[in-house]
């Protein structure tokens, strides 16, 4: 594990399954992280809406719901009552409406931040966007960052030979960062893209968490 051959094998399997996408395709994500561009206010709000909707759903379901909601918004505006009839989650619909209605100022605020760290902190303060979701959104907007979700934490623990995994402790974060730094050297790819591939591989069970548990590296 954790070699270029292993990683590119996972990437190929995912592409062969036609599962190589998030809000964007794998190729788009890799290009965005390699050569970031500036998004329009509409695109910014659309990206925000996707990560808000994605929590708790498969990517396939999230993309379907997101497509329907954004199609309505682009045609009719952010009408809370109408959107709630399409997706019955008041908090998420309210957040999407607030971001859409203030998208110009929010987008400007994001790009006015001087560093990636300040941009991520800014995203984390948007409606219904927490720290982990801010990393997801930031990556989709071109920041080379990872999400540190449970699968990535487990892989980081396996890489470092840590026997116990809790939450995102400094030890686990350091292990994940070491794993990503190693894979960046192995593959020459942005770590944000590596994160996408590893996350999808875990979701598709191409990387078995049962193996991690049996190996004695995790508890």
**Secondary structure of residue 25 in the 3-state scheme:** strand
As a whole number of angstroms, the distance between CA 59 and CA 181 comes to 27
Q: Check whether residue 160 and residue 201 sit in a common domain.
A: yes
The rounded mean pLDDT for the chain is 91
As a whole number of angstroms, the distance between CA 42 and CA 209 comes to 39
Look at the pTM and tell me if it is higher than 0.95. Answer: no
As a whole number of angstroms, the distance between CA 173 and CA 169 comes to 6
Alpha helices by DSSP H, the chain: 4-16, 26-34, 41-54, 59-76, 80-86, 90-101, 103-112, 116-124, 131-140, 150-160, 170-187, 191-203, 209-214
Share of the chain above pLDDT 70, in %: 94
Q: Check whether residue 126 and residue 190 sit in a common domain.
A: no
pLDDT at 164: 66
pLDDT tens per residue across span 4-35:
999 999 999 999 999 887 778 899 999 999 99
pLDDT band at 216 (very low <50, low <70, confident <90, very high): very low
Q: Check whether residue 49 and residue 135 sit in a common domain.
A: yes
Structural domains counted in the chain: 2
pLDDT at 213: 46
111 occurs within a structural domain: yes
pLDDT at 219: 35
pLDDT at 132: 82
CB 26 within 8 A of CB 15: yes
36 occurs within a structural domain: no
Instruction: Check pLDDT > 50 for residue 200.
Output: yes
More confident call, 55 vs 95? 95
As a whole number of angstroms, the distance between CA 65 and CA 146 comes to 24
Q: For the residues 118-135, what does the mean pLDDT come to? A: 94
pLDDT at 168: 85
pLDDT band at 111 (very low <50, low <70, confident <90, very high): very high
Residue 141 in tokens: 């907007």
pLDDT tens per residue across span 40-85:
999 999 999 999 998 877 778 889 999 999 999 999 999 999 999 9
pLDDT at 76: 97
pLDDT at 210: 53
Please, how many CA atoms are within 13 Å of residue 165, restricted to the half-sphere of its CB?
Answer: 27
219 occurs within a structural domain: no
Query: Which residues form the domain of 161?
Result: 4-31+147-214
Give the CATH number of the domain where residue 125 resides: 1.10.340.30
Residue 213 in tokens: 């548990």
pLDDT at 89: 96
């Amino acid at each position: 594990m954790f070699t270029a051959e292993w990683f590119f094998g996972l990437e190929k399997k995912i592409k062969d399954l036609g599962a190589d996408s998030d809000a964007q395709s794998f190729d788009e994500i890799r290009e965005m992280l390699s050569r970031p561009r500036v998004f329009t206010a509409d695109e910014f709000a659309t990206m925000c809406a996707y990560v808000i909707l994605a929590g708790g759903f498969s990517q396939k379901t999230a993309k379907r719901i997101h497509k329907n909601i954004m199609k309505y918004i682009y045609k009719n505006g952010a009408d809370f009552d109408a959107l709630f009839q399409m997706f019955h989650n008041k908090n998420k619909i309210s957040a999407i409406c607030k971001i859409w209605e203030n998208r110009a100022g929010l987008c400007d605020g994001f790009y006015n931040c001087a560093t990636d760290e300040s941009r991520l902190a800014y995203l984390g303060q948007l409606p219904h966007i927490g720290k982990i979701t801010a990393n997801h959104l930031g990556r989709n907007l071109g920041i080379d960052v990872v999400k540190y979700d449970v699968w990535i934490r487990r892989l980081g623990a396996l890489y470092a030979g840590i026997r116990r995994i809790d939450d995102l402790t400094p030890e686990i974060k350091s292990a994940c960062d070491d794993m990503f730094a190693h894979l960046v050297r192995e593959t020459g790819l942005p770590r944000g893209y590596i994160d996408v591939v590893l996350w999808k591989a875990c979701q598709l069970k191409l990387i078995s968490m049962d193996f991690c548990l049996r190996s004695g590296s995790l508890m």
